[in-house]
Structure 1
Amino acid sequence: MLRKVGLMAAMAALPAQAETVESSAGSLRIEAMVTGLEEPWALEFLPDGALVVTERDGRLLLVRDGEAQSVAGVPEVFAEGQGGLLDVMIPRDFAESREVWLSYAMPLEGGAATAVGKGRLSEDGTRLDAFEVLYHGDAMRGGRHFGSRLVEALDGTVFLTTGDRGTGPEGLESQDPARVEGKVIHLNRYGSAATSLPGHRPGVFSLGHRNAQGATLDADGTLLLVEHGAQGGDEVNRVEAGRNYGWPVISYGEDYGGGRIGEGAEKAGMEQPLHYWVPSIAPSGLMVYGGEMFPDWRGDVFTGSLNSDFLSRLDPEAGWAEERIASAQTARVRDVVEAPDGAIWFLSVIDGAAYRVTPAE
């Protein structure tokens, strides 16, 4: 089924839908490429340049050659609160496997849980065939903090982030290695555990996370996360197997309404973030830039802000110094990716649009 989604060629965007802003890399052109989206959550490119976009209510769109096509075969989702259809991941072997991986809030008896599954995109792009659920957590009530980012590791295994389900500083699910909540889960391509640590539930790779809504690999292939704090204390973490990232025992934020969380900001045996924000920016989406279009930004880390309306650029070689790229289009940025040509694309929840960032001519 064709959706009424607006598609704009790069040279024909309307003036109201393109803006030039200044940055450390010079003038940037930000223009709408896809409009009319409904609560977009994630975007990813196929090898042929087509774009896939998830909408939280449960729609998967394939955007190609000026048309946005709804893709059938998507699983039923728990589209309540922060739940719904969430991330999409296209593995590196897509040309052979045609696999599309989805993470989502899965309805279960007694509530919902973060889940991941995959299907094969049909040759005409109209459906996911043979979709199968590969992994899901335990049912919990409520619609908060599903985490749900997907990243393919260098060896072809897959990382999935899970949230703490909004249990707050009193909830210790994130610290329990036998539970799924507040973890990074490491899976093989068929859904079995790719990591098995002593005393941990199979698949649990790391623990002590609150709600990681951005994930990617750094230049060395190590997993990076951005995760939400409470009032302040959003973090960038480099994640390694068996490590504990602290939530809710340590945090640089404070509880809603005030007051210390847990035991303070540090504790032996718990990892420190690479960078943190106070006050919170509600980071979402994560990308390490490696393209040719912005050579001065190679190796820099980009994330979006859901509450302060900007793209954040962090420079690890300059002590994680931050540049905030703000425009009328950067309202509630949910995801940010590097396109095959080196352009930067991001999703705006407020506008229901996918934007492309290029050097201004």
Structure 2
Amino acid sequence: MSQRSFSRRSLLAGLCLGSLSGCLSQATTNSLGQYVGANSPVTDEYDLSVGHAPVSTATAWEVPTTAPPTSLSVEPVVEGLEIPWDVTFAPNGDLFVSERPGRILHYRGSQLETAFETADVVEASPVAPGGEGGWWAAGSEGGLMGIAVHPNYPDVPVVYAFYTYDAEDGTRNRLSCFDVSADDPAATETVLIDGILGANVHNGSRVAFGPENYLWVTIGDAAEESNAADVTTVNGAVLRLEPDGSAPSDNPDFGPDADPRLYTVGHRNPQGITWLPDGTPLVTEHGPGGADEVNRLVAGGDYGWGTIDPTERGEVGYTDSTFERPLVNTGKTTWAPPGCVFYTGSLTGLQNRLVIGGLRSQRLNVVTLAPRGETLPGTDSGTVFDAPWMDDEYVAVAHTLFEDELGRIRDVTQAPDGSLLVATSNRDGRTEIEGESYPIQSDDRLLRVVPASE
């Protein structure tokens, strides 16, 4: 176990707090909000291009035959984090963690070695153990959110980040990349997409490289439902990008006025993305006071938000419609699903299942998928999603773990060694467990899930 007991100052690698905003002032954007400035230190220094070898659609995975384990345990990996949002591994095994106040931490071996801050991120004040108030008390869900590492790291030592900032005309979001090998990583910020509409809620945003080396970005509707149905904006959508932020030539065509970076539209607040072994992308999405969803992405698909009446986000809205149907729709139950992973690692009983964090539900949600017509395991102990108005390829059953044991679980990821890691989000001031006082002294934490006997 490594405890984060160092000072914040010792972690900062060249902040460029004053110069960064000056660098960005030279940037301009086109009508789609795409960065077209000349100051691009990352793209000037490195070739970000990658190959896109397709994943075989014949890649098989076995549907589990039993329900998932009912009892697991956790052990700490890193403690004392400040509202972690995204946990991601580089190809060489290095671990990067984003904290919503604006820091990116680099964890290698047994210690956090480097970190840097983005200068323009909206202010966040993580709650101290025993304290009150904090980020949610200030009414915001923004900050430094999704991060991703270039597929050719460390030869291309580039990390991508999506964050919220205050602009003269309101709250905005930005996708940037940084050279983390530089003496001053923050000074190398290269903006790929700027001016994305933001709000106190529904900013998204997960950033990840998929199995074919495209860069995927999930973006919320910025608290305006109509944005999700508007193909001229990137809000309420999932983007598929080249590593330099441009649109792949084979992206779906939503029409002559549409943003070419769109892959799917009609999303409310998607905060997780993962892939089945055959390369099929899945996203998790926050619903309106329930009706949270897991969706299988179909190129060019419209998932209905912004068009379907929010009160009909279920059987009424999807039946006889042209919208893509959810794998999971939680109805009146709230999961508040953020990060997720289709787990293929070494933890017995969880292999080949979709593992999803839970914020308001304060638990892990474990979803088993099976092609329609095949047997689902654990239907007697879980919640089944197999209605005719739901996804036409798969049925699902969900089970829960660690309910009200760890607090809010923000991210779930699979480590290179096959272990399963979860990150808590208890210092955002929103954890409520009867008889317990959160955050606890070691919050926030990165934890490894282990068998209960360990």
Give the TM-score of the pair, scaled to structure 2: 0.67
* Unaligned ranges ≥5, structure 2: 8-66, 125-139, 371-375, 377-394, 427-442
Gaps in structure 1 of 5+ consecutive residues = 7-22, 255-259
Distance in 1 separating the partners of 2:105 and 2:247: 30
Distance 2:174 2:401 in 1: 33
1:113 is aligned to 2:176: no
CA distance in 1, matches of 2:155, 2:304: 40
SS of residue matched to 2:141: coil
Shift of 1:27: 4.8
Question: What is the DSSP-based 3-state SS (H/G/I as helix, E as strand, rest coil) of the residue aligned with 1:320?
Answer: strand
Candidates 317, 325, 329, aligned match of 1:265: 317
- The equivalent of 1:40 in structure 2 is 84
Cα distance in 1 between the residues matched to 2:326 and 2:315? 16
Aligned to 2:207: 150
- For 1:95, which of 141, 154, 166 is the aligned residue? 154
> Quick check: 62-71 or 320-329, which moved more?
62-71
Say what the alpha-carbon RMSD is for the aligned residues.
2.6
2:448 aligned counterpart, secondary structure = strand
**In 2, Cα distance between equivalents of 1:153 and 1:213:** 15
1:185 and 2:239 correspond = yes
Name the CA distance, whole Å, in 1 between partners of 2:196 and 2:149.
Answer: 26
Change over 3 Å in CA distance of 1:87–1:76 after alignment to 2: same
Using the size of structure 1 for normalisation, the TM-score is: 0.84
Shift of 1:120: 2.0
Given that 1:88 and 1:101 are in contact with CA atoms closer than 8 Å, whether structure 2 keeps it comes out as yes
Distance 1:196 1:132, change over 3 A: farther
Please identify which structure carries the higher strand content. 1
**Is structure 2 residue 220 aligned with structure 1 residue 163?**
yes
Counterparts in 2 of 1:26 and 1:165: CA distance versus 1, 3 Å:
closer
Q: Which amino acid aligns with 2:115?
A: V
Q: Distance in 1 between matches of 2:356 and 2:284?
A: 8
- Say which SS state the counterpart of residue 154 (structure 2) adopts: helix
Aligned positions, number:
332
Alignment deviations for residues 272-314 of structure 1 (CA, whole Å, 9 cap, x no partner): 10111121110010100111333x4322101011012110110
The separation in 1 between residues aligned to 2:113 and 2:122, in whole angstroms, is 22
Any idea what SS the aligned residue of 1:118 has? strand
1:109–1:139 CA contact under 8 A, matched in 2: no
Structure 1 residue 184, shift from structure 2 partner: 0.8
- CA shift digits 1:81-125 (9 cap, x unpaired): 11110011123321321221111124333123332111222178x
Deviates more, 1:108-117 or 1:213-222: 108-117
1:25, distance to aligned residue in structure 2 (A):
3.5
Say if 1:114 and 1:148, in contact at 8 Å, map to a contact too.
no
- Greater CA radius of gyration, 1 or 2? 2
Instruction: Name the structure 2 match of 1:357.
Output: 449
The whole-number CA distance in structure 2 between the counterparts of 1:59 and 1:70 is 10
